[in-house]
Structure 1
Amino acid sequence: MRKKIAFISDHASPLSTLGGVDSGGQNVYVAEVARSLATMGYFVDIYTRREQTEIAEVVDFAPGVRVIHITAGPPTPIPKEELFIYMTEFSEQMINFIDEEQLDYDLVHAHFWLSGMVAMDIKRQLNIPFVITFHALGAVRRIHQGEADKFPKQREQIEQEIIWHAEKIIAECPNDMKDLMELYYAPQEKLEIIPCGFNPSDFYPIPKDEAKETLGLAPHYQYVLQLGRIVPRKGIDNVIEAFAHIHQDMPLLRLLIVGGNAEEKPIDTEMERLQNLCREKGVEQQVMFTGNKEREILKYYYSASDIFITTPWYEPFGITPLEAMACGTPVIGSDVGGIAFTVRKNETGKLVPPKRPELLAKEMLSLLTNKNQLKTMSKQAIEYVRNTFTWKTVSEQIGELYEKIIPVCRDKKKLQHLKEYFHQASQTFIKAAEVLPQQIATVAEEMCQVLATDRKILICGNGGSAAESQHFVAELVGRFEIPKRAGYAVMSLNTDNAVLTAWANDFGYDHVFQRQVQSLGNSGDMLICLSTSGNSPNIIHALKEANDKGMVTVNLLGKDGGKAAQYADINIVVPSEDTGRIQEVHLHIIHQLCWLVENQMEEMVPAKQDKKISKLIA
């Protein structure tokens, strides 16, 4: 049976065009891991926030993978920094969808802290365990951005809560794990390092001349590439300044900046800032802003470039360096976070401190003027990432993590269900204790009066109630607690197969108990009927027959008592709608009646003996 996983990616849909302000590595991660997990036999639903009205609620993304759009806030693009206030609505709508579709997920995998909030709600309300990949941490962001960070101040507190409620946290590199432990006190046993990856079907080396020709780039120029989201923390200004340091020494060098809005009058303020910086540095003719590009074309940009440069202030992982290396392009990256983990210094690229354009310029010039080193690094980069960072390898590690969690959580879930059943049963007993004792005591007294006058008690029920009626009779004819007492005149109406089939054939099943009451019952006898619903025709017919014969009639019922309640002298109705709970309380009532009858009958024995002696003397 295929295991079902629910991905939550609040702002990063796998259907989005990459390179926008909130479209980048997380979108790729979610899409690629979901696809790979599906090929491994999982069924994956990706829940993301609806950003347009036209798109369908459910979109088939890949075999075994669906994208489900959740309405939370207006159906328009909203910066992720402003989504916090819509997460409660996201949780409610996601839970509604799960309930309506009757989906039974084995696990939730949350992506980003906002998705983690939703995962906590899912776990609280539906008892589905979750793992989380944060992709970025609020405490780290605050260290680097300070007051420029526009996320809600409670982000770090919520991330802390998510860490304690998650079954496992996926750290994308050792530095990510270190931050989780030092800044959030995350228990080490909850952490698992699983990197990001690349798809070798999408990213592979293409001859430079062919790549340049495909992109319409001049073949006689050398190119260096910056690719990704156009946001301040990516340090693109650092790359432009470094390029400005060396462009006069390398007049045939061009800088390609892929991503963001490249219109003449950009609405993207960061793009506008970067274009102004190019003008200030005198390199506006040498820097080419291409805007967003479809994912299928990116391998040509990587392959056309001699170096890929990415120098963010901080980076939890960074997928673009892997893609560049997969295309045989060495990387110069910031010596931070995941980049320091994926780029092997002096083997597949270079590492430099962020915000140091002069050092970056030095490394760029050194590498660009050393063709042999570029060639060696290119070969080493391809081999390294293919052996270590494919999405297939990454997803297999994630799948192994799931398989550690799911069986344990299933056992916990099973135990939790058992605890809930006990709790539900106890609540039913408590309610019954508040409303039923008087009726139970009255029925016991009536039973004793019937038995004391040498009359008999007939008991019947259907299904489980038939078994309880037979148990009831066994305790009274035999004994409950008092040994060596006389047996009582109590009998269970016959449910023997031969009798049932014979009588049902002659009179119909609805009259099986009625026929026995008619044959065995006399005025002054008692009929006790057990029924959880009170609507069984054979019970109702038996009660009517008993009333016609002048018998005392008693019901042990549940729910609203059903139609049977109107035909009995005394009704004991268990305050529950659950058949199992009703039967459990019925059994308890049977034991209480047995205890009361035994003790009251024993008290009546001396009185009966005194009467017999008086008759003998007379």
Structure 2
Amino acid sequence: MLQDKKLLILAGSFPSKDGSFYIGSFIKGQVDELKNYFEEIIVISPQPVGYRRNLKEYFYDNVRVYYPRFFHIPVEFFRKRLGDNFFKAASRIIEGEGLEFDLIHAHFTWPSGYAGVKLKEKYNVPLIITTHGLHVTRLETLKKRSAICTWNSADAIINVSRKCVELLMSLGIPMSRLYYIPNGVDLGKFYPMDSSVVRKMLGIPIDKKIIVSVGNLVEKKGYIYLINAAKIMRETEKDFAVYIIGGGPLYNYLQNEIRKLGLQKHVKLIGPKPHHEIPLWMNAADVFVLPSLVENFGVVNIEAMACGKPVVSTYNGGSEEIIVSEDYGLLCPPKNPECLAEKILIALEKEWDHERIRNYAKQFTWELVVKQILDVYDKVLGDQSCLTSKFW
């Protein structure tokens, strides 16, 4: 029923054509499946002037991707204007290109959801918001950015964790507009490979125990605790290496901590890698680790599981909804390097059923996830005949 419809996607980040910039890859994974159901999908990802200069508009299949620019000064006074600037940049490209759409899907409440509300009012089309970044620790900040008004203005709100549904219900958002639908994984990209072959390709030791983590080098990802866990692990296990894939503002700080602790042989900051290389790093691992303080979902967890790898993570809001059994991984409190070290060492010695882990990840395929999203679209667009489930 959507084949004659056009979908507008709003996102603060969306991968580049060549994949060298891959923040928002989970949104692209969703789009790549959604495009099979729409006449056209338009992705608009406004960017501040001078930021991510390599991002250029591109088209593929029936998808158009735009990165309109806007002037923005990243200080608190001007941060309040970010949502308005985001909306204006999106409006300019819509008007300039003569774009038409029947439905808006905004990823993250701020600034995409906020801008989505203004576009909904301007073009009189329904709006769906997915709250990837919602967490109780961010609630006061989101409230200052008109989050409650934004959520109340949306026709439906998709949440990637059940905790987010509960949080929005506690804030008075009607249950009838709330849905739990997890993020997805592309099993065609993330699948088991021979670890020794992959390690040779990446130039890393074949005979060591390898721990891999993937994420931005920011405080909430908890990498300082993984580094301190490595210090503890070194007391009983010498033959291991931790590879952290990702870039960010804490790179120099974390590198200095690695030097101070004398962990240069054990912990490596690899920097950002194109998304198509991430499956190689995950397959090189004996154990995948996500030490985050806060996660809504943690898509890297299921990407690692799709490669058949066990995961050690924290009780961070999202990981515990994925790692529901010690058959798939182990959990510990955040900010606890002692427990993290203990669980990693246990995971390195445990005999894992890698096929079982891979099979568990199959419930998160984009094909299955998108079918649930399509049901929400059908409901919002008024076609009740295709609504098959309530998800909550």
TM-score by length of 2: 0.89
Equivalent in the alignment of 2:83 = 87
Equivalent in the alignment of 1:216 = 203
Where 1:344 maps in the other structure, the secondary structure is coil
1:248 Cα offset (Å): 3.0
Within the candidate set 351, 359, 375, 1:400 is matched to 375
1:79 Cα offset (Å): 9.5
Distance 1:212 1:81, change over 3 A: farther
1:242 Cα offset (Å): 1.3
Answer yes or no: is the 8 Å Cα contact 1:72–1:86 preserved in 2: no
Distance 1:37 1:126, change over 3 A: same
Equivalent in the alignment of 1:59 = 58
Deviates more, 1:361-370 or 1:276-285: 276-285
Please state if 1:348 is matched with 2:328.
yes
Please give the alpha-carbon distance, in whole angstroms, between the structure 1 residues aligned to 2:116 and 2:300.
28
Please give the alpha-carbon distance, in whole angstroms, between the structure 1 residues aligned to 2:339 and 2:253.
22
Equivalent in the alignment of 2:121 = 124
Distance 1:274 1:190, change over 3 A: same
Equivalent residue letter for 1:213: K
Distance 1:345 1:404, change over 3 A: same
1:142 Cα offset (Å): 5.8
Where 1:181 maps in the other structure, the secondary structure is helix
Q: After TM superposition, list the pairs within 5 Å mapping 1:141-290 onto structure 2.
A: 141=138, 154-155=144-145, 158-182=146-170, 184-260=171-247, 268=249, 270-290=250-270
Please give the alpha-carbon distance, in whole angstroms, between the structure 2 residues aligned to 1:120 and 1:303.
41
Where 2:7 maps in the other structure, the secondary structure is strand
Please give the alpha-carbon distance, in whole angstroms, between the structure 1 residues aligned to 2:100 and 2:342.
56
Equivalent in the alignment of 1:602 = none
1:407 Cα offset (Å): 2.5
Distance 1:80 1:209, change over 3 A: farther
Distance 1:56 1:232, change over 3 A: closer
Please give the alpha-carbon distance, in whole angstroms, between the structure 2 residues aligned to 1:79 and 1:177.
31
1:51 Cα offset (Å): 5.0
Distance 1:239 1:271, change over 3 A: same
Where 2:81 maps in the other structure, the secondary structure is helix
Answer yes or no: is the 8 Å Cα contact 2:6–2:103 preserved in 1: yes
Where 1:66 maps in the other structure, the secondary structure is strand
Distance 1:274 1:55, change over 3 A: closer
Please give the alpha-carbon distance, in whole angstroms, between the structure 2 residues aligned to 1:275 and 1:39.
44
Answer yes or no: is the 8 Å Cα contact 1:59–1:67 preserved in 2: yes
Please give the alpha-carbon distance, in whole angstroms, between the structure 1 residues aligned to 2:177 and 2:361.
27
Distance 1:82 1:328, change over 3 A: farther
Answer yes or no: is the 8 Å Cα contact 2:135–2:296 preserved in 1: no
Answer yes or no: is the 8 Å Cα contact 1:133–1:170 preserved in 2: yes
Please give the alpha-carbon distance, in whole angstroms, between the structure 2 residues aligned to 1:358 and 1:50.
40
Distance 1:294 1:58, change over 3 A: closer
The C-alpha deviation readout for 1:538-567, integer Å capped at 9, x for no partner, is xxxxxxxxxxxxxxxxxxxxxxxxxxxxxx
Structure 2: any 5+ residue segments left out of the alignment?
A: 385-392
Answer yes or no: is the 8 Å Cα contact 1:302–1:308 preserved in 2: yes
1:19 Cα offset (Å): 9.8
Where 1:322 maps in the other structure, the secondary structure is helix
Identity between Structure 1 and Structure 2 (%): 26
The C-alpha deviation readout for 1:371-425, integer Å capped at 9, x for no partner, is x2x2x1x222100111x1011211121112101111269xxxxxxxxxxxxxxxx
Distance 1:14 1:42, change over 3 A: farther
Equivalent in the alignment of 2:68 = 70
Question: What's the RMSD between the two structures over aligned residues?
Answer: 2.6
1:216 Cα offset (Å): 0.5
Q: After TM superposition, list the pairs within 5 Å mapping 1:471-510 onto structure 2.
A: none
Please give the alpha-carbon distance, in whole angstroms, between the structure 2 residues aligned to 1:350 and 1:358.
14
| Paired residue total | 379
1:363 Cα offset (Å): 1.2
Equivalent residue letter for 2:122: Q
Equivalent residue letter for 1:163: W
Q: After TM superposition, list the pairs within 5 Å mapping 1:93-112 onto structure 2.
A: 93-112=89-108
Please give the alpha-carbon distance, in whole angstroms, between the structure 2 residues aligned to 1:181 and 1:163.
11
1:199 Cα offset (Å): 0.6
Equivalent in the alignment of 1:473 = none
TM-score by length of 1: 0.58
1:81 Cα offset (Å): 11
1:181 Cα offset (Å): 2.0
Equivalent in the alignment of 2:390 = none
Equivalent residue letter for 2:162: P
Distance 1:56 1:381, change over 3 A: closer
Answer yes or no: is the 8 Å Cα contact 2:221–2:293 preserved in 1: yes
Q: After TM superposition, list the pairs within 5 Å mapping 1:420-459 onto structure 2.
A: none
Equivalent in the alignment of 1:380 = 356
Answer yes or no: is the 8 Å Cα contact 1:224–1:256 preserved in 2: yes
Please give the alpha-carbon distance, in whole angstroms, between the structure 2 residues aligned to 1:162 and 1:273.
36
